[in-house]
Structure 1
Amino acid sequence: MTDPLSHSEQTSELSINNNLEELAKRHGWSFEVISTLDIQIHYPSNTIEEDLLYVIQHWGELLQYTPQERSKFGREEEYYHLHCVTNYKIGQTFRCFIPRALVVNPTGLVITSDLEIIRQSLDGQKININLKARQIKDKFNDSKILSGTYVSLLSYWSHSLNFAHWLMDCLPKLALIESLDSNAKKNLKFIIPDGSPPYIVDSLKLLGIQENQTIQIQEESITVENLILCRAAENPGRPNKMHFLAIRNKLLTSVIDAESVRLSFRRIYVSRSQSSRKIVNEAEILQILTKYDFEVIHCEKMTLAEQIILFSEAEIVLGSHGAGMYNQIFCNSGTSIVEIYNKEYWYHSSRIISNFMEHKHWHIFGENISSDWETWVDPLKLEKVLSLVLHDRSSKN
């Protein structure tokens, strides 16, 4: 694994710690393993023949190159994630109590008072920091050390304030403190990204964390009296299923009575007409969706609680790849997810959620028509995949 600091930034005073468990033993800090290393298996997404042939064609071209050369390509290198059974190694998850810790904004990188950089706070990412050893020493000697015990909910992608990464990388960290004493949990404070949008504050409230328990870092870094470092995943976008589902279930039951029967009857189209990466021929697409009784929703106009209720009632969710589609975590098992990918801009992480939730994941590729990834969708392809989805659902009933 690559060191998180570039060579030019490493000094004799700063060191990189690769094994927090050993460091904790040496200092007498509390270190608790929550889950051991595991392998998570994810199954292929479904599509129509036209898009499968498109993938095979481009995949064949890629096989002519070395892995290093393939990594220079765009989305094509990830086709196998969609169309093969894939195994992801999920590293050990843990929580560790670290006294007098410095937390770097916005990534959540942690540095101890002995000037040791905790590599395991980086979620497997390489990163450079601008702070030098002298600056870090000054911050530990500063009288502005924040008193109390803090949990950092920052991640490598905190700067993007991305709903998907908040769900997949940040919130699962809260599952690691569930076993703490209830009185101890009441006194915790939580570090969240600067400029946090409403869904961050709302999700924490649904999980029992009030706004006065949170702090948004506006400085380059802060130093806290005590830090609970929660590592819920080894890499961004690769959540541990156990922690992910624990938080999902808690969010769901905070809004919906656990004893109520949630019927899956709604067909939802998640529109991006008021966001970036629009579908340019959406009016044409809506004519098709109307025939199949889809309702059009705009997630950005809804509260998180409203989205939870809506998606918990869905039998089919269709839309472009984007934040709104990640609300599928609130759907019941057996829901059909139909994702429209721009050939030049797509990620397969929602397929991971579909596997966690036992959803049936489908996809089709649209054509990229602009530098900001606006998409044109072939109406015939869309209608074809919808007929397959509906046939699949009827054959199971």
Structure 2
Amino acid sequence: MQCPAHTNRHGSSPIGPVAQSEGHKAALPDKVYVTRRDATRRRLINESEIEKEANEFGFIVQELSSIPLWHQIAIARHAHTIIGPHGAGLSHSVFAKPGSKIVELLPIRDGTYQPRLNFIRLSHIKGHQHVVWYENQKIGFDPWSINLDEWKQFMKKQNILR
């Protein structure tokens, strides 16, 4: 069977998700906050406040689980800064361009939640700038929160919120 020039045998475009998103008029922000508001584990209980602050500095909040995969990839590929709590949403940073800034928000608990290095390693391999905000958490408490004032100061010092 012969396929049209713009599609492969599976009907998808070989020109990539960014081009596909342009054809669909999908938004591709430069600065993205990947939310985990739909998560059942490691819920960030003051995430709406974090989202509001990020939005005030030009970040577009994206709930990646609610949009098609090609759009998720296109968003990550286009963005030059991606912020998000540790979780599956940050795995899209594999598609980000070298030099992109990835900001991981990570809950840490002595003896239980040890630092996870998977996204740091991925960023190193892909040539990203990786910044981690570690937030100490209470043992035996799955939902977590971020000290908003300290986080804002840190993010401004890192030239992320400007």
TM-score, scaled to structure 1: 0.32
Give how far 1:367 is off: 3.2
Q: Equivalent of 1:297, from 49, 62, 69?
A: 62
Matching residue's letter, 1:340: L
Residue 30 of structure 2 corresponds to: 266
**CA-to-aligned-CA distance 1:83-140 (integer Å, 9 cap, x gap):** xxxxxxxxxxxxxxxxxxxxxxxxxxxxxxxxxxxxxxxxxxxxxxxxxxxxxxxxxx
Q: Equivalent of 2:53, from 288, 299, 305?
A: 288
Name the SS of the counterpart of 1:376 in structure 2.
Answer: coil
The one of the two structures with greater contact order (alpha-carbon pairs below 8 A, sep at least 6) is: 2
Residue 336 of structure 1 corresponds to: 101
Matching residue's letter, 1:311: A
**CA-to-aligned-CA distance 1:314-364 (integer Å, 9 cap, x gap):** 111111111000101111111111101110334111111111221100011
TM-score, scaled to structure 2: 0.74
**Contact 1:369–1:376 at 8 Å: present in 2 too?**
no
Q: Give RMSD over aligned pairs.
A: 2.9
Residue 135 of structure 2 corresponds to: 366
More helix by share: 1
**CA-to-aligned-CA distance 1:156-211 (integer Å, 9 cap, x gap):** xxxxxxxxxxxxxxxxxxxxxxxxxxxxxxxxxxxxxxxxxxxxxxxxxxxx796x
Q: Equivalent of 1:354, from 118, 123, 137?
A: 123
The 1:320–1:209 alpha-carbon spacing in structure 2 relative to 1, beyond 3 Å, is: farther
Unmatched 5+ residue regions in structure 2? 1-7, 20-27
Q: Which 4+ residue blocks in structure 1 deviate beyond 6 angstroms?
A: none
The answer to whether residue 88 in structure 2 is matched with residue 326 in structure 1 is no
Residue 5 of structure 2 corresponds to: none
Unmatched 5+ residue regions in structure 1? 1-207, 211-251, 258-263
Paired-residue identity, %? 20
Matching residue's letter, 1:365: Y
The count of corresponding residues between Structure 1 and Structure 2 is 141
Structure number with bigger Rg: 1
More strand by share: 1
Give how far 1:265 is off: 5.7
Give how far 1:369 is off: 4.4
Q: Equivalent of 2:17, from 246, 249, 255?
A: 255
Instruction: Write the distance in 1 (CA, Å) between the matches of 2:158 and 2:76.
Output: 18
